[in-house]
Amino acid sequence: MNKKILVICGATASGKSAYAIEQALKRNGIILNADSMQIYKYIPILTAQPSKKDLSIVPHELYGGVEIDAEFSVGKWLSLVVPRIKEILTIGKTPILVGGTGLYLKSLIEGFAVIPQISSETKEYIADIRAKHTNSELHAMLETRDITLYNRLKTNDTKRILRGLEVYHETKKPLSEWQISNHTSFFNRSLFSITLINPERQVIYNNCNRRFIKMLENGAIEEVKFIMENYPDIRYPEAIGLKEIISYLKNECTLKEATVKAQQLTRNYAKRQLTWLKHQMKYDTMIEST
């Protein structure tokens, strides 16, 4: 396996997809999705999945294949992407991972801790505790169950605190211990070539604003109508703009209000992505314009 595994990361609307297509054409590549929202069916416009034109230029995989009501995780993504990367390398092509979901990419590059599945009973039990306690109280509970995780997390990091409580309740073993003892590596770091796409922040913000308008023009509202009609009782993926369009369709706000809110959330998300990627990813190349 003498070819590199290309990783192209960056904030939303930073130009990753266009750069990935350019590299795929140069390197006989196959593009693999590394975005947690682009994995879902029925919302290709809202999640900026590759267009028909993009798909006709180079192969794209792992986009839009998961049911909208299915639970998906980094572990499930790794179970799909790792064997596919190996297959692509074996046939002499270049795997090109593209996305802004940092945890997916970091887990692929640095390895992943396999944690036992959490039962629905445990999830319900912890959800009941969550409903009755403040963030500070939940954080304090973690101290007696997983001191390492407690010291690592801030009080307002509710999602990870709850995850730590779930794992301990289910397995009677701290999550921090699972992360050490069950750590799996997939590829040597030297196989990866990691590029961070990093245009000026204002450029990204402007792109975010324009892209949401284009999504609306291209049929994002119709996508949301479809899932509301066909999947009315599920927990929807956390795709930015989905809740805002639902609010508009329920006459809870105007389209203008929904648009402004979605644009703001997209800009905020892009800022968080870029901060995370710069501090958590060890990239080989940074491109400041595409």
Binding residue ranges:
10-17
Q: How far apart are CA 204 and CA 239, in angstroms?
A: 18
DSSP state of 164: H
Q: What is the DSSP string of 109-149?
A: HH-EE--PPPPHHHHHHHHHHHHHS-HHHHHHHHHTT-HHH
Of 49, 2, 5, nearest to 187 by C-alpha is 5
Of 73, 99, 10, nearest to 277 by C-alpha is 10
Task: Estimate to the nearest angstrom the gap between the alpha carbon of 203 and the chain centroid.
Answer: 22
Which residue numbers belong to the known binding site for ATP? 10-17
Are 126 and 166 in contact by the 8 Å Cβ rule? The answer is yes
Total Cβ atoms within 10 A of residue 87: 12
Of 43, 46, 71, nearest to 265 by C-alpha is 46
Q: How far apart are CA 233 and CA 221, in angstroms?
A: 18
Question: b/e string for 32-48 if b means 16 or more Cβ within 10 A?
Answer: bbbbbbbbbebbbbbbb
Query: Which tokens sit at 27?
Result: 């390197």
DSSP state of 284: S
User: What is the DSSP pairing of strand 285-287 with strand 192-197?
Assistant: parallel
Query: Which tokens sit at 68?
Result: 């909208």
- The structure tokens 């003892």 sit at 181
Which residue numbers belong to the known binding site for substrate? 12-17
